[in-house]
Amino acid sequence: MKTYECDVVVVGAGPGGSMAAKFCAEGGLDTILIEKKAEVGAPLRCAEGVSKKWLEEVGIALDPLWIRADMIGAVIKSPDGTQFKLDESKAGTEVGYVLERHLFDKALARDAVAAGSKLMMRTSCTGVIREGGRVVGIKVKSMGEEAEIRAKAIVAADGYESQVGRWAGIDTNVKLNDLNSCIQYRMVNCDADMEYCEFIIGRSIAPGGYLWIFPKGNGVANVGIGVMGPLCKGGEPKEYLDRFLAIDPRFKDSQAVEVAAGFVSTCPGLDCAVDDNIILVGDAARIIDPLTGGGICHACRTGMYAGKVLVEAAAKGDFSKASLMPYEKMWRDRMEDKLYRNWMAKERLAELDDETINELVRLISTSDIEEVNVYNLLKTVKEKFPKVVEGFEHLI
Amino acid sequence: MIVNYDKCLHCGGCAGSCPKNAIFLNDYILVFNDDCNRCGRCVRLCPVQALALEARA
Ligand SMILES: Cc1cc2nc3c(=O)[nH]c(=O)nc-3n(C[C@H](O)[C@H](O)[C@H](O)COP(=O)(O)OP(=O)(O)OC[C@H]3O[C@@H](n4cnc5c(N)ncnc54)[C@H](O)[C@@H]3O)c2cc1C
Ligand code: SF4
Ligand code: SF4
């Protein structure tokens, strides 16, 4: 059996893995990045919407290659059609670009390679190797051949599946309440507004989740839905999406050119995303916005933090949990409060019936919010509907 | 487990949701191991109803 040796092996070439590999390699570490699929960034499992501000924070330079559409606002709709439209002046950080994810992910993988990482495609991690109670590498199947990759540390960036962490003894299981089962069609020849991202909430439309329309220009839009775990009894996501598309006149002459499925976790992140010789990033660490399901920026940030912490750990020659704990502090300092707040908001929203949601959206649309973001929306809800934010008022 | 590959979109959602970590998505093929306790979670969660439990032997 072939054996590879390196400082850090990164499992999964999504945004989290590529960013981690890039920062490890830039810091001089011998880095191997593996990806089980035959193509980075495909098939699509994403609605491709991101806000604008965080790209600079993680050092990603804008490239028109992967920006498909620039949004000027967002629309939030309730089941009876009440809508709240935010234009750019008010939309704050919550709207931004609609990406070409397959090109975005490839650009990040390229950056990882340019920094010196070795990228192995069609290479699945199938387990971890333990010696003396420690994880010393991973078992892989690479282009059909079994092999071992021995490393001082592992970055688990294997996305929602999050199996590498579990093989290494970290509990990454999500509660049924804390996940959404999703399906999305890429619709062509539709009449959706090409400059606004649309979010439709309410039990009768998307039980415990929401339905999104993210436009990509030229009559093309990602239209998808997420349904909360306990409300899935068998096939609901597809049924609800099909029903919506059959009724909404904007899709009368529209057809899908792509069908994608995927899951998002909606908890506020793992209790601890590090252990001896291993760090979990992005979706694998369940670090994703529990209210919006937006996780691209979280994956990039946590990938960057993991890379930086591993470079420091290598300088000390110590990859123990204690030595990797700065990672835990970095992501919590940056994101924990917001994740927790949005997790609570998600739990409450899921409990509301259509009438209450209608009223909520009407109320927001008539109130005078300066810059609209989740924080300010919740502040308005707190004033008018204090019950909805009970238990996490202190975060608003 | 019975997988209907005419429906499955190989999203890996069932694998990520299985409390026993008993499912592995081998790119386009799902592999189930013996840890499965037939809880049915993957069956109800699949967005396109591609999974069904086999009748008990
Ligand atoms: C339907 C849907 C819509 C979404 N919409 C948005 C959105 O609009 N905006 C947003 O910001 N986020 C969105 N998200 C979330 C976003 O897609 C994720 O948060 C993001 O992709 C996480 O990046 P990651 O690097 O952690 O994981 P991923 O991008 O999932 O990458 C993980 C990689 O690891 C590979 N892998 C898995 N297991 C193994 C293994 N054993 N061996 C080797 N490789 C492996 C996978 O093939 C994959 O390439 C959406 C998610 C879904 C499901
Ligand atoms: S959740 Fe359904 S569509 Fe996704 S991989 Fe599993 S069986 Fe296939
Ligand atoms: S039935 Fe339960 S234990 Fe078995 S594969 Fe599905 S989710 Fe896992």
For ligand 2, is residue B11 a contact (CB within 6 Å)? yes
The pLDDT of residue A92: 60
Same domain assignment for residues A372 and A308: no
The answer to whether residue A51 sits within a structural domain is: no
Same domain assignment for residues A213 and A114: no
Q: How far apart are CA B30 and CA A162, in angstroms?
A: 15
In this predicted model, which residue has the larger pLDDT, A394 or A74?
A74
Domain CATH number, residue A220: 3.30.9.10
Closest residue by Cα to atom 4, ligand 3, is B36
Tokens coding A112: 């990882």
For ligand 1, is residue A165 a contact (CB within 6 Å)? no
pLDDT digits (tens, 9 = 90+) for A264-316: 999 999 999 999 999 999 999 999 999 999 999 999 999 999 999 999 999 99
The answer to whether residue A289 sits within a structural domain is: yes
Q: Minimal CA–CA distance to A141: which of A158, A125, A155? A: A125
* Averaged pLDDT score across all residues of chain A: 95
For ligand 2, is residue B31 a contact (CB within 6 Å)? no
pLDDT(A324) > 60: yes
- Low-confidence stretches of chain B (pLDDT < 50) are none
Residue B57 three-state SS: coil
For ligand 2, is residue B52 a contact (CB within 6 Å)? no
Same domain assignment for residues A337 and A284: yes
For residue A99, the cross-strand partners are: A67
Pocket of ligand 3 (CB under 6 A): B 18, 20, 22-23, 32, 36-42
Please report residues of B whose CB lies closer than 8 A to that of A124.
Answer: 26-27
The pick from A296, A298, A301, A335 for probing ligand 1's pocket by mutation, whose C-beta has the most ligand atoms within 8 angstroms, reads A296
CB contact under 8 A, B10 and A237: no
Ligand 2 midpoint to CA A271 (Å): 27
The pLDDT of residue A95: 64
The pLDDT of residue A150: 98
Tokens coding A37: 């699929």
Ligand 2 midpoint to CA A252 (Å): 28
Which of A242, A265, A288 represents a domain boundary (last residue)? A265
For residue A264, the cross-strand partners are: A180
Tokens coding A188: 């062509």
User: How close B44 gets to chain A, by Cα (Å)?
Assistant: 4
Per-residue pLDDT band at A86 (split at 50, 70, 90): confident
Specify the CATH class of B2-52 in words.
alpha beta
Same domain assignment for residues A151 and A284: yes
Same domain assignment for residues A365 and A321: no
The answer to whether residue A56 sits within a structural domain is: no
pLDDT digits (tens, 9 = 90+) for A28-48: 999 999 999 999 999 999 999
Domain CATH number, residue A19: 3.50.50.60
The full set of domain ranges for chain B reads 2-52
CB contact under 8 A, B16 and A160: yes
Let me know: does A181 contact B47? Beta carbons within 8 Å. yes
CB contact under 8 A, B27 and A36: yes
The answer to whether residue A58 sits within a structural domain is: no
For ligand 2, is residue B23 a contact (CB within 6 Å)? no
Same domain assignment for residues A75 and A93: yes
pLDDT digits (tens, 9 = 90+) for A173-212: 999 999 999 999 999 999 999 999 999 999 999 999 999 9
Segment A132-159 shows an average pLDDT of 97
Same domain assignment for residues A33 and A113: yes
Whether the predicted interface score ipTM is above 0.85? yes
Full 3-state SS string of chain A: CEEEEEEEEEECCCHHHHHHHHHHHHCCCCEEEECCCCCCCCCCCCCCEEECCHHHHCCCCCCCCCEEEECCEEEEECCCCCEEEEEHHHHCCCCEEEECHHHHHHHHHHHHHHCCCEEECCEEEEEEEEECCEEEEEEEEECCEEEEEEEEEEEECCHHHCCHHHHCCCCCCCCHHHEEEEEEEEEECCCCCCCEEEEEECCCCCCCCEEEEEEEECCEEEEEEEEEHHHCCCCHHHHHHHHHHHHCHHHCCCEEEEEEEEEEECCCCCCCCEECCEEECHHHHCCCCCCCCCCHHHHHHHHHHHHHHHHHHHHHCCCCHHHHHHHHHHHHHHHHHHHHHHHHHHHHHHHCCHHHHHHHHHHHHHCCCCCCCHHHHHHHHHHHCHHHHCCCHHHC
Residue in chain B closest to A185 (alpha carbons) equals: B9
Structural domain boundaries enclosing A372? 346-395
Same domain assignment for residues A94 and A119: no
pLDDT(A377) > 90: no
Count of Cβ atoms closer than 10 Å to residue A325 Cβ: 13
Same domain assignment for residues A250 and A281: no
Which of A265, A289, A311 represents a domain boundary (last residue)? A265
Q: How far apart are CA A172 and CA A291, in angstroms?
A: 19
In this predicted model, which residue has the larger pLDDT, A117 or A84?
A117
How far does Cα A387 stand from its chain's mean position?
A: 29
Tokens coding A68: 């498909």
CB contact under 8 A, A262 and B11: yes
Q: What is the DSSP pairing of strand A134-142 with strand A123-131?
A: antiparallel
- Among all bound ligands, the one having the nearest atom to the CA of A232 is 2
pLDDT(A322) > 80: yes
The pLDDT of residue B33: 96
Which of A247, A265, A283 represents a domain boundary (last residue)? A265
Same domain assignment for residues A226 and A201: yes
For residue A34, the cross-strand partners are: A11, A120
Ligand 1 midpoint to CA A283 (Å): 6
Ligand 1 midpoint to CA A250 (Å): 29
Same domain assignment for residues A252 and A274: no
The pLDDT of residue B57: 65
Count of structural domains, chain A: 3
What distances in angstroms separate CA A237 from CA A207, A263, B30, one per listed residue? Answer: 9, 11, 21
- Among all bound ligands, the one having the nearest atom to the CA of A38 is 1
Same domain assignment for residues A274 and A229: no
CB contact under 8 A, B24 and A38: no
